[in-house]
């Protein structure tokens, strides 16, 4: 009896609209994919989603999976097409936010994983020999940029999986590996393996270089990474880069000697808000010893930018060096001047004169490179096309012509 009374109570307390389905006319088409409702009480049934068996089968069908994949690719292409990157003075990536992981727990605040690839077709034509063309994967980098909780400490691990013929794979594999702190205002304190602040272009990121190749003084005296402690200061009128390092390179020896680097830039027009352009003058030294071989390099720089025009000039003199071309006691010197003009925000024209003396004790051995270039920034430095022509006059070897057609992509 109690069960019968309980059931009657439920029926009486339940709204009558929920039992009015007999007044609803449900009409399905033949393939059970469309539903039409003809009823005066349609507002009661509209929030309810009717899922038919055919819809369940459709979500797991191969056709549906292909459609989802196509839609995903189309949306990704659309996002890249609409991406606006106009700053070409700093590296950027196409998928910066999607490839950044944010953490709620643990020591890390975020981790950005990205990669950069540069490739070029290199056509070499010497006046005394036949020409040759080959494809070069000029740069392959995989980077992990992490930020610790609080935002004052960061780290970077950069790997290079490309094959090198002049050194073992593992010595080349680890490039940047450092921790840095920005707790001191206007300063960054860095410890680990990093590119040293030798020269202006020599310390520049490879992702923002105007040409595919660095200048000769940058290739020989700089363009190298070492383990040490580095302090970088950045103020409106001056910035500087001081470092104490092991003179070892590519993890070949443990502390074969010590090296000290110092570079300073002055920016006298920084307070004029660009009215007279941007002027930078700088200079610095590198001094050290490796396996009882002493070396010293000094340099000076001047650069100017005004609206669409810019130019850079740099000179370096060495009594022995420990840079990209290796350890040497030779006395060498060189200089270059580069000019550039932005026809549009995306299209840039370049020209450079570059002279280098590989040994000042020997006469008639200078190397002069005349370079013309075009850069097309599709998406800033994240996606760009590069075309360089180089005419090389070598006092000790036959002259040569070289064409480099390449691209850079950062994801």
Give the chain's domain count. 2
* For range 79-102, the mean pLDDT: 88
Please say if the pLDDT value at position 271 is more than 60. yes
Question: For 371-393, what is the mean pLDDT?
Answer: 97
Lowest mean pLDDT among 123-127, 132-136, 156-160: 123-127
Q: Which of 204, 205, 226, 370 is nearest to 282 (CA)?
A: 204
Cα–Cα distance between 46 and 37 in angstroms, integer? 9
Domain check: are 343 and 246 in the same one? yes
Least confident of 55-69, 89-103, 331-345: 55-69
Contact 384, 408 (CB under 8 A): yes
Which segment of 45-54, 95-104, 256-265 scores lowest on mean pLDDT?
A: 45-54
Between these two residues, 53 and 187, which has the higher pLDDT value? 187
Would you say residue 323 has pLDDT above 70?
A: yes
Residue 85 lies in a domain: no
The rounded distance, in Å, linking the Cα atoms of 318 and 387 is: 31
203 and 237 part of one domain: yes
Same domain, 144 and 187: yes
Task: Say how far apart CA 12 and CA 112 lie, in whole Å.
Answer: 61
Residue 152: pLDDT above 80?
Answer: yes
Model pTM score: 0.80
In a domain, 80, yes or no: no
Length of the chain: 411
* Mean pLDDT across the chain: 87
Q: What is the CA radius of gyration of the chain?
A: 32
Q: Which of 14, 38, 73 is the last residue of a domain?
A: 73
Together in a domain, 232 and 363: yes
Range from 77-81, 85-89, 277-281 that averages highest in pLDDT: 277-281
> pLDDT class for 355, splitting at 50, 70, 90?
very high
Domain of 398: which CATH number?
Answer: 2.40.160.10
Q: Are 31 and 104 found together in one domain?
A: no
> In angstroms, rounded to a whole number, what is the distance separating the alpha carbons of residues 58 and 70?
16
Check whether residue 248 and residue 303 sit in a common domain.
yes
Q: Which of 26-30, 219-223, 360-364, 368-372 is predicted with the least confidence, judged by mean pLDDT?
A: 26-30
Please report whether residue 362 resides in a domain.
yes
* Residue 67 shares a structural domain with residue 158: no
- Residue 28 and residue 154 share a domain: no
Do both 136 and 246 map to the same domain? Answer: yes
Average pLDDT over residues 281-294: 97
Going by pLDDT thresholds of 50, 70 and 90, the confidence category of residue 71 is confident
Is it the case that residue 276 has pLDDT exceeding 60? yes
Which range has the worst mean pLDDT, 40-54, 178-192, 307-321, 339-353?
40-54
Give the pLDDT confidence score for residue 194 in this predicted structure.
97
Are both 223 and 283 inside the same structural domain?
A: yes
Cα–chain-centroid distance for residue 142? Answer: 10
59 pLDDT tier (thresholds 50, 70, 90): low
The residue range of the domain holding 50 is 22-73
Residue 386 lies in a domain: yes
Residue 78 lies in a domain: no
Band (60; pLDDT cuts 50, 70, 90)? low
- pLDDT tens figures, 311-322: 999 999 999 999
Query: Domain for residue 226, yes or no?
Result: yes
pLDDT at 342: 97
Residue 89 forms part of a structural domain: no
CA distances from 147 to 78, 306, 319 (A): 29, 35, 40
DSSP string computed for 249-272: -TT-SS---EEEEEEEEE-TTGGG
One domain, residues 65 and 199 = no
Q: What is the mean pLDDT of residues 335-352?
A: 97
Residue 275 reports pLDDT greater than 60: yes
Q: Is the residue at 2 inside a domain? A: no
Cα–Cα distance for residue pair 52/29, rounded to 1 Å: 12
Residues 62 and 107 in one domain: no
How far apart CA 163 and CA 238 sit, in angstroms, is 40
């Amino acid at each position: 009896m109690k069960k019968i009374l309980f059931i009657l109570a439920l029926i009486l307390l339940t709204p009558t609209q929920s039992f009015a389905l007999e007044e609803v006319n449900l009409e399905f088409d033949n393939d059970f994919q469309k539903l039409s409702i003809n009823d005066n009480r349609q507002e009661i049934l509209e929030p309810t989603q009717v899922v038919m068996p055919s819809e369940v089968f459709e979500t797991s069908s191969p056709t549906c999976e292909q459609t989802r994949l196509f839609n995903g690719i189309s949306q990704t292409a659309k996002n890249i097409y609409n991406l606006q990157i106009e700053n070409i003075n700093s590296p950027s990536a196409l998928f910066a936010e999607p490839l950044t992981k944010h953490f709620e727990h643990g020591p890390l605040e975020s981790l950005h994983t990205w990669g950069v690839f540069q490739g070029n077709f290199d056509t070499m034509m010497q006046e005394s020999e036949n020409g040759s063309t080959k494809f070069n994967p000029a740069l392959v980098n995989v980077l992990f940029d992490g930020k610790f909780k609080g935002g004052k400490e960061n780290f970077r691990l950069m790997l290079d999986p490309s094959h090198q013929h002049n050194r073992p794979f593992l010595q080349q594999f680890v490039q940047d590996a450092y921790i840095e702190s920005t707790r001191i205002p206007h300063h960054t304190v860095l410890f680990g393996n990093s590119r040293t602040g030798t020269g202006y272009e020599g310390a520049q990121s490879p992702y923002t270089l105007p040409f595919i190749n660095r200048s000769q003084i940058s290739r020989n005296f700089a363009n190298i990474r070492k383990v040490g402690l580095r302090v970088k200061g950045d103020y409106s009128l001056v910035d500087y880069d001081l470092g104490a390092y092991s003179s070892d390179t590519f993890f070949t020896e443990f502390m074969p000697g010590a090296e000290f680097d110092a570079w300073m830039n002055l920016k006298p027009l920084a307070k004029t808000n660009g009215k007279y352009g941007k002027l930078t003058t700088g200079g610095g030294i590198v001094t050290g010893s490796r396996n009882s071989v002493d070396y010293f390099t000094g340099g000076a720089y001047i650069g100017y930018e005004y609206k669409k025009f810019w130019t850079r000039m740099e000179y370096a003199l060495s009594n022995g060096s420990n840079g990209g071309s290796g350890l040497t006691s030779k006395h060498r010197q060189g200089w270059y001047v580069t000019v550039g003009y932005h026809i549009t925000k995306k299209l840039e024209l370049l020209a450079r004169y570059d002279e280098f003396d590989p040994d000042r004790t020997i006469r008639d051995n200078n190397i002069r490179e005349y370079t013309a270039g075009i850069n097309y920034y599709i998406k800033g430095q994240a996606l760009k096309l590069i075309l360089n022509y180089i005419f090389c006059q070598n006092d000790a070897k036959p002259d040569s012509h070289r064409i480099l057609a390449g691209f850079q992509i950062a994801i």
